[in-house]
Amino acid sequence: MRRPRIRLAPGPVRRIYVNQRAISRNHQKQTLEPVVAVDDGQGTTHHGHEIEILGPSRVKYSRDITLTGTPARVWIETAEGVDIYDK
Biggest alpha carbon distance in the chain?
Answer: 41
Q: What is the pTM of this model?
A: 0.89
5-38 residue pLDDT tens: 999 999 999 999 999 999 999 999 999 999 999 9
- Once rounded to an integer, what is the mean pLDDT over residues 45-58? 96
Is residue 54 classed as helix, strand or coil in its secondary structure? coil
d(CA 51, CA 35) in angstroms, rounded, equals 11
Among 6, 9, 56, which Cα is nearest to 34's? 6
pLDDT score for 72? 86
